[in-house]
Chain A
């Protein structure tokens, strides 16, 4: 028997039972669509996070208080603290020759008032180097000068979205904003970095670090040491990252009097953060895929169920075919092609639905975070391959059952 004949026969069998065939396919359709849609969300999240972290810069090292565990950052450990003095100590050409710039920063959440407009944004206390360390552009006005920090000036630089919220279209430079009833003069506006919703890097107000520490923060360290939230360090060239990390750790261990392995601070490069977060989103993607995979499995069982019914129903047909010379493998092939065709068609429809769903989800705003979906060829191939494999696998048993039928009994079957 020719393969073409088998395929024609199988398609004939599917078309003869349109409603049943489409219901059987539905399981695979939903399964494949779910795999595509869910995994595209996971993939999109991964891409988003990667881009965000890459935007930080490749030669940046961040130092946080608190010890890192193997799985990531354990922050806010009790006595752990970084101080201005720690930051100053890192600026050491002898013990830290690979460090280029050091920019400590401190953060506070405050209400900002301009006239009758009121917004709540992160207030970041920074030094002039912060602009270069974190790749900020100034779109209007200027960034802080060392003199602003020395004099604890009441000046502020606005993130683009804060500027938009408080001043609308007008230029905020030389206007005043109030934080805790203290008036700050706006000296500059930052260029937009993009991003959206909560955690949007443009939603920020920067003031000199010393101003934040003296006028806004109540959180002083012991012995008059001034605490900072983190220290950003740039390295001369990206290939010196690991060297610089060692030098920083060395200096801070000495200053904090801790042994290696008992650090009360964490030194992370962009690559470290990327690795941690990538593994998190990877797990999420796999998890979503696995859930969707279960529905594929259920779809496969549905195919097996219907194929068993079909085989029983067509017992007599099998008998007739065998009596006119069909071999067992002809019968087997006929039913196998039928279940494969069911799952294949289901996979195509499911794939298209999945693409559609993924496109609909793309750009959806979830509590301030814009979802971006990506359907990679790998996801498509995976969903497709698994669907067809499942169809074949669950088709084997019914097909074997059909092939093994005794022609005499099959012919007698009512």
Chain B
């Protein structure tokens, strides 16, 4: 199935943030949408410029609970900045005409739970939830 067809059948509103949002703001967005595990960062032109995962954010804000730190994590703990400084700026996105079966494994290797779909200008069209893919696979088996 093509990404555009999936989005029509399973419309999901992506949760987005500005690159200058603070980490507590990002946490608030996650807590407002408990099912969401990936937030997309949208720049001033409306293009996807980054991605922030739930585990990454929780690791940053709960660093004081971790008994061991690498040097990189130590610096992150004491210099907490805005979302722009912690997001993954190499976001792997799908095009609407791509088939899910062809690109799915690339996304899984990135350890993300949602797959963003963008147009030619990199504007976010929607999100494919891996949970929805899983639900459909189980339903088909049954």
The judgment on whether A and B are partners is: no
Q: What is B's interface to A at a CB cutoff of 8 Å?
A: none
